[in-house]
Amino acid sequence: MTEVEREVFGQMPCEEGGAVVEKFRLKSDSVKVEILSLGCIISALETKGRDGKFSDIVLGFDTLEGYTKKHPFFGAVVGRVANRIAKGRFAIDGKEYQLFLNNGPNSLHGGARGFDKVLWSPQVLPNGVCFFRLSPDGEEGYPGDLKVWVTYTLSGGELAINYRAQTNKTTPISLTNHAYFNLAGQGSRDIYDHEISIEADSYLPVDDTKIPTGEVAAVQGTGFDLRQPIELGKHLQKFHLDGFDHNFCLQQAQARHPVARARHPPTGRAMEVHTTQPGIQFYTGNNLDGSLKGKGAVVYPKHSAFCLETQNWPDAVNKPHFPSALLQPGEEYNHTTWLVFSAA
């Protein structure tokens, strides 16, 4: 059985409208997760180690104030389009659209005020919570009124996140959750002792602004071959990598399939990622720099967390040979990602 509780988490600043932000707590025997109505943010996620004790394994803040200031998308749902769009530009049916540039020369994670920074309308379910919002035509430069539903459900050790959307004009869409994980417990110094594997035969090389070059490169014989579990710290050293911030190309299946696994041998905690999405962005917290004070007043230094963001390929709207990122009127965008937690 999953328990669902709701409570007030805080109030938005006056200049943001002053609305109440709620927190929803989902609890099973092995997982406890807290989700905010602001940005559908996963603000806490506790799982058991092999010792049977719970630890919070996601980065974030104790209070709403942390989430209303600038932060690196901790735990949030990002959109309309996750990841980067080159020069913030794209064309649909010959019409050019220009987005806000918030990541050097590019647009990142929906722009200046993306889905992570807005309040969603919640509906409690027997085993979870469904959030809804209407993203109006022209919001952040995107075309069409877009209705979006994000549903979190918890069953035993499995947290499912379902994303649905409908539009009245052709628009690009790619939704993901940007949780930062450390299976040793949030606030632990680094993730070098984590074992990671990703079921991908190819990945997308990027230019110096992190935009895919267009090449779909084989992982074979490179530092991007994560098909067998690697110990992260040793692997980064061996291949002289500063970290990962790359899209791995998954098999194009509409059905659920396992795509990645992270394990922390000292605590026995493991997390498997299953999805219907065509890509997964593996990010190792390269831009964390210890300047943010998180939960329990701990700081989050570089490489103190990882993200496994299931999504469409970055800049797909400008790359015809990438999986299509366009949603047409009359169609429905519908993807699910499952996070399966265990300890051994």
Consult the annotation and say whether 180 binds a ligand.
Answer: yes
Instruction: Report the relative pairing of strands 245-249 and 107-108 from DSSP bridges.
Output: unpaired
CA dist list (Å): 137 to 6, 276, 316: 31, 27, 21
The yes-or-no answer on residue 109 being catalytic is no
Q: Are 122 and 131 in contact (CB under 8 A)?
A: yes
77 Ramachandran zone, left/alpha/beta (phi>0; psi -120 to 50): beta
Which of the residues 71, 178, 194, 303 is marked catalytic? 178
Is 200 known to sit in a ligand binding site?
no
Residue 245 marked in a binding site:
yes
335 in catalytic set: no
The residues that bridge with 95 in the sheet, in sequence order, are 92
- Out of 109, 264, 309, 335, the active site residue is 309
User: Residue 211 CA to chain centroid, in angstroms?
Assistant: 18
Contact between residue 293 and residue 186 where contact means Cβ atoms under 8 Å apart: no
Give the C-alpha separation, 115 to 76, whole Å: 8
Q: Is 179 annotated as a binding residue?
A: yes
**Would you call the peptide bond into 80 cis, given omega within 30 degrees of 0 as the criterion?**
yes
Which residues fall in the annotated binding site for beta-D-galactose? 83-84, 178-180, 245
Residues contributing to the annotated binding site: 83-84, 178-180, 245
Catalytic residues: 178, 309
